[in-house]
Structure 1
């Protein structure tokens, strides 16, 4: 019996018979070295504080950050992504660029205790402003150009404290160029910029806003974050960030945007990060806790899918669990 497809000569199942064969022909690989773990660092707490909408994720007190990062390093996780929760907020987010701000202190502590850990910092004002927006407000509008100097001051303060990479997430036009110019002028030409290039105005950010205390007090962020319906615009954003000096580009969120990840991967040669965001994490956790899915299998499938789509590095709250699973084999 023969057919136009070549059956029975061609049998695709031959290389699927056992795990050894499957691993030999596996096209996409997931490794701990590709993972980056986001961490929330809060002022004025003495023990980890649970985040109700993100099971297993906590806000860390400064005193315990080093110990947790040491644990992550032993798991083979190469980098952490820091978000700060200050006790004091104001209209211009002054704690974002304060020398003794919570993130600046956390960076110094991590670098003193676990110097080999790569420290990436989020550069955005939303966690530090009383209004919860990512820039300066005037008459209810988020001002673009007036916000850039504050973002540059924030990035500079992170680098002075010891950050290895700065990651502007604000989505203000021109911010990558301003950060690059400022860092270069200050003698930090070696510091890479990981640009949140295609960051969409997504409903998947809800749990993060509880974790970081960054919900806007009025309106929303659709005037500066991207419309989820747009793909070509994402490539324009990527091109602009590259032209302004970005060293790494990012797509955020991840699971609903695999087409964007693939388009960006085909479009440019820069390293590509994707952020597997809080809502994506919480949905999987909730379904697993209800017994509806097998957590380990689904998480590994999702992250492998992001790699298959073209991601080089994965920012994910699942990083410690995945690293442990990979060790177990």
Structure 2
């Protein structure tokens, strides 16, 4: 039901002449065939939702199909590595995200790619806050209840979409800030995790507002936004409840392999920004709690680099390590 709902919302002047011609030709003939848009998580989650929403618009803009392909595993790093090692022709793209691009470099000692140097970052698409949620029938009715329960029974289960994801990191921050001990339960994506919370076999989870916000099977306890989110006026923020360290949005962008011709990167950026500016896509994102973002390719590249630095500090302070 949730998935159906989400889908329904559904350098130039100094370059050698031959290089300029090659880049111009690449732009003129791009894309030569259907473009793969790799989602490094299972179908049905936030990353998948945003990918399909924007890909449909890109299909219309380019006159060539942008095909969403789910390649899940290892907190999004499997699909990300696939694109890092792909041909730099713009025919294979990745929905870059906070988990596999921002947090992963800090938690995986042997990450097989570099989030900054192995990609040509195209555009930031959206930012979404996360929520701590429980089953609607749970006796836990507030963040204070959750913390009381965790102190009374150390090891209370908290699910995340996977090891090394931003949800995993936020759980560690909550533990440190609230002085509690919880048990991290990683899943291969948010879909199976949400099913277990809905079914009562998992006590709680940290996931995006897009995924849990309109699902009546869940009770939302607190959101990681800086201020209350329009559409959820009764949902308190962690910040107002005394946990300012838990102000963090989950972000999603589009990237290609390093070496992709600038002409292709810039064309993709232009069309992604045009898609995000349409009233239809803007409304669908805002309805789910997401904020559309518009950046140039250089701005998004700088953003990713800054996020890598930021989460390295957070992860070190939280003591998170995957391997």
TM over 0.5: no
**Rg larger in structure:** 1
Higher relative contact order (CA 8 A, sep 6+): 2
The normalised TM-score by structure 2 is 0.30
